[in-house]
Chain A
Amino acid sequence: MAAVERAAVPGHVVIVGAGVGGLRTAEALRSGGYEGRLTLIGAERHPPYDRPPLSKQILEGRWEPERAILRDRAGLADLDVAVRLGTRAVALRGTTVDLDDGESVTGDAVVVATGLVPRRMPHQPDGVASLRTLDDVLALREAFESAESLIIVGGGFIGAEVACAARRRGIAVTVLEALGAPCERVLGREVGVLAARLFREAGIDLRLGARILRMPDGRTIEFADGTRLSADVVLASVGGIPDLTWLGGAELRIKDGVGCDARGRAIGMDGVWAVGDAAAWWDPVTGEHHRAEHWSTVTDQAKRVAGDILGAELPAPSPPYVWSDQFDLKLQVAGRTGNAGEVVALHGSGLEGGPVKGTVAGYFTGDALSGVVAFGAPKPFMRYRSLIASGAGRSAVFEEARR
């Protein structure tokens, strides 16, 4: 008989990163029938928790932090996984992970799921807030108790959600965005203008094209034109960078992430997979590597990696999806938007200056619908998600819009 190509199922899988990607990988391995050893290593002291509620329910004080925990210690024990929380990986040698407490864990397979660390501004002084972890949001929530003013550097989704939460508490909010519209990388300029209107209608001082020269201290911004602006709290919300310094350059970096094939196998690293925000998977549809920062993508990738490790058939990927609760409406994004070819209004009149709420924009690449953005229009939005997945053309999309 010819040699079987598939490698044997490993006896010990080590997952580095105890966020949603790491946890979902562990869960998918167990539900896929994996009976070998499992180790989950997390730099934070908390058990795996869900990040979307941090800048929403938890920052607003509607949820206590425990509610975001996905699996507590007992739940992890049920999964029969050895957990090392509050322990940071410092190096990877083959499939051996060195830890900051001096110990090492050797697996037959390693899954990199370390996610992002907040990007810092150049020469960022101490005292500037960031929002990535549960501890970050609890510190920010406490700062809001006494703050009267807030500057947010970065007008992305997180910046918008924090701005809303602060406005609800009566805090004066200024948002500084370098680009010409908020959330421009995701929405594109044309639709980003609608987001800008939402900021301003909520009483937020939104400054687009902001040029920051430096921060003389943790509460003061100095602009390129020499003017200064101070607030009780400054939040840097300028995105994140993959937390990969511990790999020491052993990986092939693509778009700042670990370059992977379409199954999540790290290129050039035997026995290593990567999932989530820190992984740049090959996308056969677009013919390039893509690093997504979406909850739905990491969940999808975790299942696929677990399947690949077990030699099982891989589930079909679902189109990327992200949502944000802003200004009392739900902003929903599916598929590829941002730099798609053409934006067409499908519902509502926001793009022509009418109300933002109820506006649905379609993004077309050639004839095919590649993405959809909806402002407070969940019902129409849902109908387009399957059209994106099936690569529907304009005529089918416009027919749906007329329904």
Chain B
Amino acid sequence: MMTILRPILGLSSLVLAWALAVWLFNVPNYISPGPLGVAKAFSNNFGALVKNLVPTMEAAVGGFLIGNFAAICIATVFVHWTRVREIYLPVAVFFNTIPIIALAPVLILIFGLGITSKIMVSAIVCFFPMLVNMIRGFESVSSSELELMRVMSASRREVFFKLRLPRSVPFLFAALRISATASVIGAIVAEWIGAELGLGVLIIQTTFDYRTELLYAAIATSSLLALCMFTIVVVAETFIVRWRTS
């Protein structure tokens, strides 16, 4: 119980400090509203927020699923065919150095303003951490585990499904935690560059219109979305990974 209460205490203290700062320095509303103003904007614009949340969520979840799935498949290929890995992993590392904000316009040019490009941007953000983690996970088997499988004349397929894949599960969840929040970032970045609806669009519009209370409410909503996805991953992990390495 205390483990939940303490962070709530931490968050409340910061919100209180924020309210105090706004009041003490007499900050105008269009620069930064207080927590109460944001809460009011949240309830007044609930419908608009939900309407904008849905496409962002679709893009984030879609990108999360596609990016992670693709990364797991490619990591599987890399672990089995070292040559392919030697040829393509450096290329993947190179692509990862391109800032996503620089890559997003290119994808929007190719895939248009619809959901496809948003999913693509989100998927790319998820892809690399999962690829690196899964390669490490598949290779985290010990030499005596591999020898045990060899004494039993296990096939490559059996070594993969009975040893490498279960071994990699903690690494899988480490990457899922990263991409749960990163996928939302990807979706919002894509929406900044160009989209008709979404939290990213709302953030840009409210900034330009000085509707700062709604801007803060939109930020809080995107943070809630990321938090929900992160929580789902953590809960799934506690149910799935019950073992520990001694």
**Interaction A to B:** no
Query: Which B positions have Cβ atoms within 8 angstroms of A?
Result: none
